Amino acid sequence: MSQRDISEQIKNLYNVDISDGLVSKIVEKIAPEITAWQNRPLDAVYPFVFMDAIHYKVKENHQYITKAAYVVLGIQMDGRKDILGVWIGENESAKFWMSVMNDLKSRGVKDVYVFCVDGLTGFREAIIAAFPRSQIQRCIIHQIRTSTRYVSYKDIKALMADLKKVYQAINEDEAMNALLEFKEKWQKTYPSCVKSWDDIWDILSTFFAYPAEIRRIIYTTNIIEGLNRQFRKITKNKPSFTSDDSLCRILYLASKNITSHWTVICRNWDLVSNQLSIMFADIETA
């Protein structure tokens, strides 16, 4: 709510007039709570960590510019979700993501099994530098959307049928064979589409090394996109923010409300947990 909204609500509820200055003082009371939440200790190991960004207009130097709220969501060892933090930034870069990775490490994170990401700039270099043993999975759904953006309507059905053989393959060998066939058929017509799969195949094919139950979790970043949809629902009537702090406040309060309803663990977690314990037996869990 804006300061005016808060003043009007107090007036309507209690017939009391309060100044903008008083509203500001009340709102600022939450700042230490936000700082404590953003700096709270984290678990030593997370099986899966999802990263994504949501964009807002924020006032800076007397003008509104687009900034991103970078959200990091982790799946804990017991299968429960948790928002590990929200960082406000203007430009994506390896340096920015490195600061996020270092923040996670300073708060106690020692290892992450798999980072699941969209096509965020600079994330790969930062992850490798901070968590060299971690694996990276690029969201398949985002990759499909990005790579087929400029494919002609008359070809999209046939191209998608061939592409489906790649990402729905039983194993990586079968997927690689399908990718080679896809490349041979579509290289001349849509070279940028083929190249986008070729260039990052190592982080698109990560999920093939896992059983079906784990593949369903890391195949896409739907988990964190669902969180961002809830953020948008809460902020939809707020087209812009007066500062980074005002954006942080609303996202923090939204996070508290959202996570209070997260009581269900990931589907088939007992099975997933047993599979992870075998596949990552060399990594500490405490």
Q: What is the pLDDT of residues 205-218, one digit of tens each?
A: 999 999 999 999 99
Q: How many C-beta atoms surround the C-beta of residue 198 within 10 A?
A: 15
Cα gap 96→85, rounded to integer Å:
14
Average pLDDT of the residues in 34-59: 94
Q: Can you give the pLDDT at residue 2?
A: 67
> Residue 113: helix, strand or coil by DSSP?
strand
90 alpha-carbon distance from chain centroid: 16
Q: According to the model, what pLDDT value does residue 285 have?
A: 52
Q: Using one digit for the tens of pLDDT, what is the confidence trace for 223-259? A: 999 999 999 998 888 888 888 988 999 999 999 999 9
Q: What is the pLDDT of residues 98-128, one digit of tens each?
A: 899 999 999 999 999 999 998 777 888 889 9
Mean pLDDT of the 155-164 span: 96
191: pLDDT strictly greater than 50: yes
- Cβ partners under 8 Å of residue 139, min gap 6: 116, 117, 118, 119, 219, 220, 221
Q: Which helix (H) or strand (E) segment is 82 a member of?
A: strand 81-89
For position 284, what pLDDT does the model report?
57
pTM attached to this predicted model:
0.90
Under the banding of pLDDT at 50, 70 and 90, the label for residue 19 is confident
The fraction of the chain above a pLDDT of 70, given in percent, is: 98
pLDDT of the residue at 286? 46
Residue 255: which of 22, 99, 121, 85 has the closest Cα? 85
Break the chain down into helix, strand, coil percent, rounded to 5.
55, 20, 30
Coil/strand/helix, residue 138: strand
Quote the CA–CA distance of 130 and 138 in Å, as a whole number. Answer: 18
Partner residues linked to 116 by β-bridges: 50, 137
Q: Where are the alpha helices (DSSP H) in 107-220?
A: 123-130, 140-147, 153-167, 172-186, 191-199, 201-204, 212-218
Beta 63-75 vs 45-60: how paired, if at all? Answer: antiparallel
